Amino acid sequence: MNIMHEWALAEAIVEATHRLLSEREVKKITFLKVVIGSLQSADREVLRFALTELFKSKGIEVERLRLDEEEALLRCRSCLKIWRLTDLDLSDEVREAVHFIPEVIHTYAKCPNCNSQDLEIFSGRGVYIASMEL
Amino acid sequence: MDLKNPVILKRLENVEKIIAIVSGKGGVGKTLIASTMALTIARIGFPSGLLDMDFTNSSCHIVLGVDVLRERPIEDMGVIPVKAHGVEFMSVAFYSHGEALPLRGIEVDNVFREILMITKWGRLKTLIIDTPPGFGDVILNIATYLPKVEFVAVTTPNILSLEALKRLARTYMREMILGVVVNMSYKPVCSSIEDMGFKVLAEIPRYNDLEEYIGDVDKLMRTEFAERVKEAALKVLG
């Protein structure tokens, strides 16, 4: 069985955090808030498990880990309309492509108001650290 | 997550040499040279990789004859590149399904970071990177964030292309240029390139029938063009 790409996302978070903590000679995080943008549709439980395991493997203790979801919104640069990802009728194949590289949404999405493809991902792109307390 | 994410370096730690094929002007044959060089290195017997970083308009898959609608990198704690004719191959075209990908600067940065963070290369002698023309986001990201990267600059004898090479030579990226490939050559320009301080890795004539071999790797690799690219590849391998 192939292991999910969420592990790569978790690894990026853990490696970046590890670098930061090493610089400060700290091994414990009291609170870590990670946001999952719905565009990347990362599996929350797999991500939580991968983060927990990878932090443990680095000898980093995370007292409280919170995973929040953020709705994906797109904005048209031409007419400024904002709309939800859920308003788009995307096939499973396209959703999977966006899961790996969120920016490929620019290939598949058009502004529902003016048909432009000059769009920006206004919110909910991918996985990122929103806050950390040491 | 920023472009300095340590995972990017970790993903590239088994790659011995990273070679970006660059040019100031478009239409000089970067994609064909990058793809042929990666194939040549694999045929010489070294583990070889090819990464298409012309995100908005990827086309290495067309040269390799890879059907991006049918083939996919395998998901495995990241993604494993597709093996095409002995080359580990990765392209955003697998996800844009070969269509145009209209992107602005920050979005180019995001794709650059994401594709490097998720791709799990094997142990490679060389990773060849195809790049978009000019000195924009991708080239700057490669120069700034990829370790031990070297450039192979491609030019034609065209005066505008040579001028772009001179401009590149006046930037801080000059130090990264391993050498120059003169493509579609129809007049002698090697000495003027050497006068700029660059080594000429190969001079490739213009072949009018070359397009017939795009997408047919076996035929492409039997051409005189491929022989000339091999000259450059051997110098790149050192």
Q: What DSSP assignment string belongs to chain B? A: --TT-HHHHHHTTTEEEEEEEE-SSSSSSHHHHHHHHHHHHHHHTS-EEEEE--GGG--HHHHHT--TTT--PEESSSEEPEEETTEEEEETHHHHTTS-----HHHHHHHHHHHHHHB---SEEEEEEE--SSSSHHHHHHHHHSTTEEEEEEE-S-HHHHHHHHHHHTSGGGGGEEEEEEEEE-S--HHHHHHTT--EEEEEE--TTGGGGTT-HHHHTTSHHHHHHHHHHHHHH-
Task: State the maximum Cα–Cα separation within chain B, in Å, rounded to a whole number.
Answer: 50
Report the alpha-carbon distance of residue B65 to residue B86 in Å, rounded.
13
pLDDT tens by residue, B84-143: 999 999 999 999 999 999 999 999 999 999 999 999 999 999 999 999 999 999 999 999
Mean pLDDT per 10-residue section of chain A, whose length is 134 residues: 76 92 92 93 92 96 95 96 90 91 94 94 93 92
Half-sphere exposure of B59 (CA within 13 A, CB side): 11
CB contact under 8 A, A107 and B97: yes
With 50 as the cut, is the pLDDT of residue B148 above it?
A: yes
Report the alpha-carbon distance of residue B216 to residue B66 in Å, rounded.
10
pTM: 0.93
Report the alpha-carbon distance of residue B233 to residue B227 in Å, rounded.
10
Residue B106 CA: distances (Å) to CA of B3, B146, B153, B200: 11, 18, 25, 35
Encoded amino acid at B128, one letter: I
pLDDT at position B77 is: 84
CB contact under 8 A, B107 and A103: yes
Q: What is the β-pairing status of strands B74-75 and A119-123?
A: unpaired
Q: Where are the domains of chain A?
A: 6-133
CB contact under 8 A, B5 and A15: yes
Question: B105: buried, middle or exposed (CB in 10 Å: 19+, 13-18, 0-12)?
Answer: exposed
Q: Which residues on A lie below 8 Å from B12 (Cβ)?
A: none
Among partner residues A5, A103, A126, which is closest to B79 by beta-carbon distance?
A5
User: To probe the interface with B, which of A101, A110, A121 has the most B CB atoms within 10 Å?
Assistant: A101
Report the alpha-carbon distance of residue B10 to residue B114 in Å, rounded.
14
CB contact under 8 A, B114 and A100: yes
- What radius of gyration, in Å, describes the C-alpha atoms of chain B? 17
| Cβ atoms A10, A129 nearer than 8 A | no
pLDDT at position A1 is: 41
CB contact under 8 A, A128 and B7: no
Report the alpha-carbon distance of residue B227 to residue B235 in Å, rounded.
13
Report the alpha-carbon distance of residue A125 to residue B57 in Å, rounded.
22
pLDDT tens by residue, B3-55: 668 889 999 999 999 999 999 999 999 999 999 999 999 999 999 999 999 99
Which chain B residue has the Cα nearest residue A46? B77
Mean pLDDT, all residues of chain B: 95
Tell me how close the Cα of B136 comes to any Cα of chain A, in angstroms: 18
CB under 8 Å, gap of 24 or more: what pairs does B146-149 form?
B146/B8, B146/B12, B146/B18, B146/B20, B147/B9, B147/B12, B147/B18, B148/B17, B148/B18, B149/B18, B149/B19, B149/B20, B149/B176
| Cβ atoms B102, B63 nearer than 8 A | no
A6-133 folds as hypothetical protein PF0899 fold (3.30.2320)
ipTM value > 0.85: yes
User: To probe the interface with B, which of A100, A105, A127 has the most B CB atoms within 10 Å?
Assistant: A100
pLDDT at position B5 is: 80
Q: Which residues on A lie below 8 Å from B105 (Cβ)?
A: none
CB contact under 8 A, A106 and B79: no
Identify which of B53, B191, B44 has the alpha carbon closest to the alpha carbon of residue B134.
Answer: B53
Report the alpha-carbon distance of residue B66 to residue A5 in Å, rounded.
23
Half-sphere exposure of A75 (CA within 13 A, CB side): 9
Tell me how close the Cα of A29 comes to any Cα of chain B, in angstroms: 18
Between A and B, how many residue pairs show a Cβ–Cβ distance under 8 A? 92
Its sign, for the CA torsion B210, B131, B52, B194, is positive
pLDDT at position B203 is: 97
In chain B the domains, ranked by start, together with CATH numbers, are: 6-237 (3.40.50.300)
pLDDT tens by residue, B51-88: 999 999 999 999 999 999 999 999 888 899 999 999 99
In the sheet with A73-76, reading across from the earlier edge strand, the strands are A82-84, A73-76, A119-123
pLDDT at position A55 is: 96
Which tokens hold the place of B66?
């890879």
CB contact under 8 A, A5 and B99: no
